[in-house]
Structure 1
């Protein structure tokens, strides 16, 4: 067999990658990432409902989902700070393993609490669990990017991660409900906690990259000394821009903090009013307008969806867009040689301080990202905002469409979307992984976007009766198969299952390609921060568009909405083609191809 033939991509290459030790741990970490999300933001509501917890309180529990949407805010901490007792585990595992152990312990502890009578502790632990889960996700995504190599490729690891994540959603969701009906909720959460504790123990043996710094916490003096070499920006210039970013992020944290306290029923006193005179004219500085920024729900508490829709764009601007502009200004000054340290200039009197640490954690990843990608970043952000928008927005209205508009039963929807649908997603992910290996990342990304967009037309057909989907299902014998394995279903169940199958296959292919592409454009050195920023945009954009989409459904019906989401998806296809051209010309990592040394994993 020739060398060229041996290296031909295909199922053999996929099989070799699947046999790698890293791939096995990626599956475990993907499962550990998806299980808490399902248990805290899905299955938990079923337990609370059975415990007769009121709807108002359950609404407050949805607030813990903000931890996932705004995880980028503390991603610099995960990227740059070492945990003294766990540092020897490795750069990423020092965060992954403790978070998994914390999550397992929380789930076991929840199993011995009574939700209604011990709701305070229950809420606190669920909130801590969501924070630990989001923190684990930051570290796992960075780990995947760090340890990828020519055998366990980034494309395969990204696909396997999603397979584990989707399998966990099935175990924590549908299977969790089935298990709870037979052994009880406390026992179910006890079992899930033990599973996470076992994964945390197994994670001790996963490969990882090591910190380069010699200190136990944070960067070494040698790392910080890089900022005082000739050609680097002067400290006073860096600090001026750093304070601007700190102010923006502090404002975002203040808004989120006030919202959380008010939503949980906490009392926030009236903020101070300052009176002062400017040029003999009296002025009043009143900060109480902050308290009026939170739309109140019917129970007098801030509504999470309305808050995200109203304040989400402002928070995105304050934490991502404006800091990116500031980073671009810093990069331009350095590139133009403005305000930089001159050759031979004496910097021996300069001392490293807290601002140097903050600059390295907050601004350096952004400066690197903007400097490496340049104006290409605009294209990348546009693609991030549109690629998954169809299924991100549509997910909220799926059950109202199935149950309310189409009048399917709960059992039929559970069969089509949970059991058959999840299997279709996993099959799509497997197919997407194969396509990535054989066809390449950008072609798979573009085809995934096209397929995901066109499947909206399948739902448009369902919205007006499903004539074409029923005919297609009958023609290929799919209707007979579904009627055989699901005799409880109505005559319309085959076309619903047929539609969901094709949509989820497309979602699997698109998801595998999207995560692989997103992972490929970030720097390994700053993977945690850069990936968290981009993935948070993907989460937030769906939330921000749901209000407008819901209003459109009420005014014009589902058919027009599915046609609209198809066109939005086609915009993503055009952007994929533009990104494909950019990468063909410049490379995935930068506007100018610059090789980046990769950290070697510690086996």
Structure 2
């Protein structure tokens, strides 16, 4: 038994070493950084620049609209699975989208650096919108690229951990360090510097490996004479069934896209007093958009699957591939918009209900109360902005990075599902730390003192305060605040590594862009919708009871993780200890 455990540990270390030394891992870190930097610059530090330029708050509120690109990126995700960019398709199915988007982001940042936000606000907002759209688009491509290139060396678990580490590192660089550089050297210098980073990453992306999807497509087309011939094979649903499904899904998606476009145009063109509220829009229309683009289309896809499995309204005999079929526009639309959902529903069956429930609840414990964090730190507990910045933006980011690294290593030891479940447990449990903090934090202070964390915080704060001007001198209570945030962020890192790896493992490589984007869009939905009710609970019951309540909510995610673990075990799926799921372990160039 001891020898088996030692061999397993040695195998885990060997697997980890091989994965980290693989060139795919290096590009994954680079891509993760490229994913994290634009949101920090377009949605974070940009507001500090606008504030210094004396741009009014109403106008800054309009800038928050660029965040809709990230919230609803799944609306154009089918393009990345089925559309080639003329002249760039030779780069690879994913790189043809990733590299140009990164170059666009870099150019947008550099041009913004040369503008005065107060006197050229129109151009400034346009560049921010273009940059955010390009950033959201590269996210779709990078998430699909990670799934495409995963193999038995650079596993999906390790790549998922690395991309999260790159993202969090970019958040730190573009956030806290970005503000420091702007204070010392000015905003134009900072944006030119980071724009240069994105341009360099875009050039480097040209040399990244890409999955042989384009070769598979060519081979498939050669065998079937056209890429839609398989839709006419014996046993496939009749053309009228496909067209009805496409019409229904197309109308729903068109309504969703139209709603977002109308809202953005209205907000950008209306007078300040007539502008709609972004938060109210997201809360009210967000669930309706998800219903129209995910939930209802899933039912439509289930209807198509039911028809095919029961042999109702299916093609009785293949018309003959050799004769060839006229490629119809509706066939391409069906393959891009409906077929990813049909494949997912067909493969998962009723297990899709469990998967969606887990996706909706896994991040709820931290997402539902996250918007109240600063009111809790600053208003309820009375900490200063500098102290909160030190605890959450510096120590907190490092804690997440440590958690991601630890989570990635533990996945190689214990498997993906064990770590997914453990992540849910500790993410829920850390809410109890905040409950203690809400009533004085005596236990947090005792724990911090016992392990020497208080000394570390005070020493670090004293060192950073004169060097970076971002941390306050050590004050009473700073250690217990930092101690609580550190352990919560460590748990978020561990849970995040396992969650992204699991999410990447359940999508089909062939439809990775669409399926991953759809599932990822659901992750924070329940937390977003529940914030109104949670705010009322805080007003009536106080923060202590809210943290106890959110910890109990986390138990739901734990139970669902166990159920998913059992489902995968019964289905004979790999748990992710050494090799990834066969569906995503395709060879890459």
For the superposition of Structure 1 and Structure 2, which TM-score range results when normalised by the shorter chain? over 0.9
Per the normalisation by structure 1, the TM-score is 0.90
C-alpha displacement of 1:392: 1.7
Q: Which whole-Å CA distance do the structure 2 matches of 1:404 and 1:353 have between them?
A: 61
- CA change 1:480–1:350 in 2 (3 A) is closer
- 2:551 aligns with 566
Q: CA separation of 1:78/1:349 partners in 2, compared to 1, >3 Å: closer, same or farther? A: closer
Q: SS at the partner of 1:213?
A: helix
Offset at residue 16 of structure 1 (A): 2.0
Q: Which moved more, 1:190-199 or 1:549-558?
A: 549-558
| Structure number having the greater helix percentage | 2
Q: For 1:527-584, what per-residue CA distance to the aligned partner results, in whole angstroms no more than 9, with x for missing partners?
A: 0000000001113333222222222222222112111111111110010000000000
Query: Aligned partners of 1:7, 1:470: CA distance in 2, in Å?
Result: 35
Q: In the alignment, which of 286, 291, 296 is matched to residue 322 of structure 1? A: 296
User: 1:110–1:122: 8 Å Cα contact kept in structure 2?
Assistant: yes
Q: How do residues 162-201 of structure 1 correspond to structure 2 at under 5 angstroms? A: 162-201=164-203
Match of 2:467 in 1: none
1:108-507 correspondence to structure 2 within 5 Å: 108-210=110-212, 211=214, 212-214=216-218, 222-266=226-270, 299-343=273-317, 345=319, 351-487=326-462, 488-507=473-492
Does the Cα contact within 8 Å between 2:151 and 2:587 map onto a contact in 1? no
Residues 214 and 403 of structure 1: CA distance in aligned 2, closer, same or farther (over 3 Å): same
Encode CA deviations 1:172-195: one digit per residue, 9 max, x unaligned. Answer: 000000000001001100100000
8 A Cα contact 1:385 1:538, kept in partner:
yes
Contact 1:392 1:539 in 2 (8 A): yes
Q: 1:128 to 1:304 in 2, by over 3 A?
A: same
Equivalent in the alignment of 2:36: 34
1:350 Cα deviation from its structure 2 partner: 5.2
Shift of 1:312: 1.3
Mind listing any 5+ residue stretches in structure 2 that lack a counterpart? 463-472, 576-580
Which residue of 2 is the match for residue 275 of structure 1?
none
Q: Verify the 8 A CA contact 1:245 1:323 in the aligned structure 2.
A: yes
Q: Partners in 2 of 1:127 and 1:539 — Cα distance? A: 22
Q: How many Å apart are 1:221 and its aligned residue?
A: 5.4
The Cα RMSD (Å) is 2.2
Deviation at 1:220, TM superposition (A): 8.9
* Displacement of 1:476: 1.9
Whole-Å Cα distance in 2 between the matches of residues 572 and 458 of structure 1?
A: 19
1:522 to 2:497 alignment: no
Contact 2:150 2:584 in 1 (8 A): no
Cα distance in 2 for partners of 1:353, 1:191 equals 47
- 1:595 shift after superposition: 6.2
Which residue is equivalent to 1:78? 80
Cα distance between partner residues in 2 of 1:403 and 1:318: 39
CA change 1:265–1:543 in 2 (3 A) is: farther
Q: CA deviation at 1:66?
A: 1.0
Structure 1's unaligned 5+ residue stretches are 268-297
Report the secondary structure of 1:264's partner residue. Answer: helix
* Superposition deviation, residue 5 in structure 1: 3.5
Q: Structure 2: how far apart are the matches of 1:417 and 1:119?
A: 31
Deviation at 1:46, TM superposition (A): 0.5
Would the aligned equivalents of 2:150 and 2:585 in 1 still touch at CA under 8 Å?
no
Tell whether the 8 Å contact from 1:31 to 1:161 is kept in structure 2 after alignment.
Answer: yes
Q: Deviations over 1:193-242 (max 9, x none)?
A: 00000011111111001313349x9x995220111111111111110111
Distance 1:201 1:344 in 2: 46
Q: Would you say how many aligned residue pairs link Structure 1 and Structure 2?
A: 567
Query: For residues 200 and 50 of structure 1, what CA distance do their matches in structure 2 show?
Result: 30
- CA distance in 2: counterparts of 1:5 and 1:503, whole angstroms: 32
| Separation in 2, partners of 1:459, 1:113 | 43
Question: Over residues 309-338 of structure 1, what are the superposed CA-to-partner deviations in whole Å (9 max), with x where a residue is unaligned?
Answer: 111111111000000000000011011111
Separation in structure 2 between the aligned mates of residue 587 and residue 116 of structure 1, nearest angstrom: 60
Once the two structures are superposed, what CA deviation does each residue of 1:433-474 show, in whole Å capped at 9, x if it has no partner?
011000100110101100000000101111111111111112
Q: TM-score, normalised by structure 2?
A: 0.93
Counterpart contact for 1:327–1:366, Cα < 8 Å: yes
CA distance in 1, matches of 2:205, 2:346: 35
Residue number in structure 2 paired with 1:69 = 71
Matched residues in 1 for 2:161 and 2:18: separation?
14
